[in-house]
Structure 1
Amino acid sequence: MQAPMGRPQAEFGLVETRPPLAARLGYHGRDKIASTYDLVEQMHYLYVNVVKARDLPAMDITGSLDPYVEVKLGNYKGITNHFEKNQSPVWHQVFAFSKERLQADKVEVLVKDKDVGKDDFVGRVVFDLNEVPVRVPPDSPLAPQWYRLEDRAGDHKRNRGEIMLAVWMGTQADEAFPDAWHSDAHSISLDGLAHTRSKVYFSPKLYYLRVLAIEAQDLVPFDKGRGRSLNPAWNEEFLFVVAEPFDEQIVFTVEDHVGPNKDEPLGRLVLPVHAAQPRTDKLVDTKWFNLVKSSSGDDEKETKFSSKIHLRLSLDIGYHVLDESTHYSSDLQPSSRYLRKPSIGMLELGILSAKNLMPMKSKDELLTDAYCVAKYGPKWVRTRTILNSLAPRWNEQYTWEVFDPCTVITVAVFDNCHVHGSNNAKDQRIGKVRIRLSTLETDRIYTHYYPLLVLQPSGLKKTGELHLAVRFTCTAWVNMVTLYSKPLLPKMHYLQPIPVLQADHLRHNAMQIVAARLARAEPPLQRESVEYMLDVDSHMWSLRRSKANFYRITSLLSGFAAIGKWYDAIRYWKNPMTTILVHILFLILVCYPELILPTIFLYLFMIGIWNYRYRPRHPPHMDTKLSHAEWTNPDELDEEFDTFPTSRNPDIVRARYDRLRSVAGRVQTVVGDMATQGERAQALLSWRDPRATGIFILVALACALFLYVAPFQIVAMLAGLYLLRHPKFRTKMPSMPFNFYRRLPAKSDMLL
């Protein structure tokens, strides 16, 4: 196999676009960190706020009324919930109609009576769109007013009651926008409307709960013949992930292992999580607790004698609880709010639109109901769902505080499968985008079309393109620069580090807690969406990922190979002028050794200045070739998407196991060769080969005497001129030091 070379194909690359007009005009006198909608295109909406009604007439024979409101604009119609037997209903429902799709010059607000057959008309209010006021945020909200209901002929004389309304023209920056019923969702009932609205969510505050089980005293065995009492000592520590509010309990059970698969309970203790003391770095005090016998339960009569358990419980608030992959974390702050550092800037994200999306509901004769989810830090945002469209336009803008530039924001697109009443369906993945903030220039607006890529068992697919606008604004330059010299995680991770295997287990638990909490929100952020954002299955083994990481290593080692080729080109005088210049530079540095280090750092400075003109101008995006996604065969993809444990038949598993052994054999050989070279260096002075060690120490003594007598400049000059000698004075045979090193023993002959 050869390492994949070249840049990503244009099909999977980024396409830069011009920022929206408001963003191109700049700040011009406004606060840089003000919450504005300048990164997205302005979208105008007609808002109708239906608040309540009063004094509605009775319409049924029984003298009752089941009122609801219908807001009608051309072919679009929004309907509120109805109230049974209520002549003064309260709705507080906002309707938003896109100005681009206005099909009439008047909007009608009709009050109707819900009936078994045809609904009865109660009254209406009609507004001329030319007379509707325009509201531009941050203007004060438009106050609703009472309007008398008229009949179909426009007569106000008959008492049909009054309705409180507010009608205005606004944009998506209006505070009524997130909770409004949108004309894009005209086919969705109010019950399913919650699944289409834009919402902001926050991850629960997570903490590590540390439990040290020290010892127990006066344990009475279930079988009296086993002894009078037991006093075991464990001194074992456990870590758990807990989340606010602490509504769960810690349950301790002490059991007697009397035989195989047979344990007898000796005592039980139940404590609330808040019984643990908060801890930053110092250990908290230990405590003794009474154990309750399982047979007696909570009987208060048995207080004369009880077994005891010695515990240390602490809530470690100095850690950052990892709930996402460490390779692209968006939050590195400790759990305690008092230990957090001040923000260094703001991140603004404009989710503009998407195009060329794949039809995800083609079986149901529908297209795609797309929505976006973005996560940075503890804050999650979900855009509204645009129904039945392959080119949705959201134009929604969100803002986050930034505490560390070496963090990543994740944006994903999903197909909403819950808007048509299918509660058991799962939202389908369309694609994901990650942007590392440290790769962005401050105060610059990046607007690009990002390809949406999904790896499936059938292969790599491009499912569309997502149009984003991103701006990172720094408000504390000094703090941001000093962050580069500080640890990435809070200091508790270094003072008392968590083992890698345990950290992976805790991260998986934290992911499950976050997914469960957000799924219980209203409206819920679906569990499958949260798990995709957090990359729950990223720890699973994949041959494709293994190849990608292998090629990453070989790519790094190729740099050393390039240096070796350059050195050989100089040694063998392939370009005499370059070799002569290297000789001159070498002699200058030998004669003036104090210039060696300044020359090295000046050279690095000049390389950095030279490379500035070639600096990346686009945010990095997922590289399909680097991921080895374009050359992976179907069987490898089928193995990657297989369940754990496997669900394939034994013949396929046997073939995959043989392939894995073949790949692992090559890796094993490379790792063994690297270990052999290191062990040969150790063998120089270990007397493993007494003759080789004797030769080496005698040569070392001779070199020490020679270097003591000869000036350093003369030694360095002779060594350099020897290495740079002309090819006429060289031989193709290996050198003596190389031959000597190759003959040194290693531990490879000690392996079974």
Structure 2
Amino acid sequence: IYTAETKNRFKIVVVSSDMGGTSDPYVKLKFGGKEVFRSKIIHKDLNPVWDEKACIVLEHLREPLYIKVFDYDFGLQDDFMGSAYLDLTSFELKRPTEVTLHLKDPRYPDHDLGSLSLIVTLSRRESEHREATMLMRKSWKRSSKLQNQSLRLYDLHRKAQLWRGIVSVIVIEGRDLKAMDTNGLSDPYVKFRLGHQKYKTKTMNKTLNPQWREQFDFHLYEEQGGIMDITVWDKDAGKRDDFIGRCQVDLSTLSKEHTHKLELKLEEGEGHLVLLVTLTASATVSISDLSVNTLEDQAEREEKVKRYSLLRSFCNLKDVGFVQIKVIRAEGLLVADVTGKSDPFCVVELSNDRLQTHTVYKNLNPEWNKVFTFNVKDIHSVLEVTVYDEDRDRSADFLGKVAIPLLSIQNGEQKAYVLKNKQLTGPTKGVIYLEIDVIFNAVKASIRTLSPKEQKYIEEEPRISKQLLVRHFNRVKRCIMVVVNAAYYVNSCFDWDSPQRSLAAFLYKPLLRVAFSKHSITTIKLIPY
């Protein structure tokens, strides 16, 4: 097991991505198909200086470190600005080495997109290497020792939650916002973004001092907190919305388990935004291997059953239950790559909780053998399991999806689910094998049913559907053809293309003229009398 330390010193970008001739760049580091680091965003700069350090744990050096640079676009899909590979086998251990990488676009390899400078230090983690070796040696011994190894692994995995806590935000009000409309007022709304999570408030019409009083939650993925981006917009019907101002909240500066009232001054605009922000610890979701199975441990199962027993019906009403999903394998998936294979990974979603497996490369019958656990907030929620094909420089391709209501689950039953299309209206190719267990408190579930359904704020980036576009185009085409054919039909009556049709039109014309004359209409009105 190795540790790679990278430090971003500076970067020069030749091509800008924003209309203003600048960019808002940030850097992603990926290893083994997984994102292992994401830098902060440097706004409006073509020569940004990050001066950040990333410590990455690597199991081997066979794969290069994949580095991608993006231009951050709030509310839109971030623009790709270039990528490069870092070969880790060429570095000496424990020796800092400065490296300059030239960014390229795989689609246009001749284009120069700038450069990225790093200082890389590669070292070997001796303590973890000895621990991994000892675990491997234990696995070769008697089967009685496997149980101790699983318990040891379980303790390690239980501490490694996918996210570190929850950020609860209450949008209170805006003060003295900039007037964007001709009437001297605005129709403001606010957009929030933390990583891939987004939230948008409702629009307050015709005011410069809006009162939102809205509450929502974000998941906190980074130990240090991360940056929450906030932008305020003016809603314009039929036109592009006007930008009012922006601000940021550095969550690393806020203490946890405490509510902070923030009055933020809007940059690039006028006015202030008033928020209440609370950071709380969370242990509601986790991911581990099949060897680390919570419910197969009798003590853990008894603890879960006791936690959601009827005797604890009025303790923490929001904690309704617990669900464990084993994602075992898939078979017969769609071919997504030109090689006749796919690079599938699986995403498991329950309301706003979202976890994913690793990617199995060049395989149509992948085996993941992962266990996911979620806390259930609403027993009427639907568990969604989606399979994607990973593409290095593009968004992932959809391969199939299943939706499973929690109330329909049979505990402990391994079942093959047929993958369906995005709308869940018909099957696609392939099946996925899952084993699901649900434990919940019926009283809490009944009380939760009376509350509004939780709003889902983790949404995919909007993409244009080619099928929907073709369907709408054909619909418009058919409407136009109906009008054109009707015009041809009327014109043919006067051109004597068909004597019978023209004669009928000649006879009907005086009848229609008489029927709709003023005297006829007056006579028709007198009939009831």
What TM-score, normalized to structure 2? 0.40
Bigger radius of gyration among the two: 1
Q: Which has the higher strand share?
A: 2
User: Could you say which structure has the higher helix fraction?
Assistant: 1
Please report the TM-score for the alignment, with normalisation by the length of structure 1.
0.30
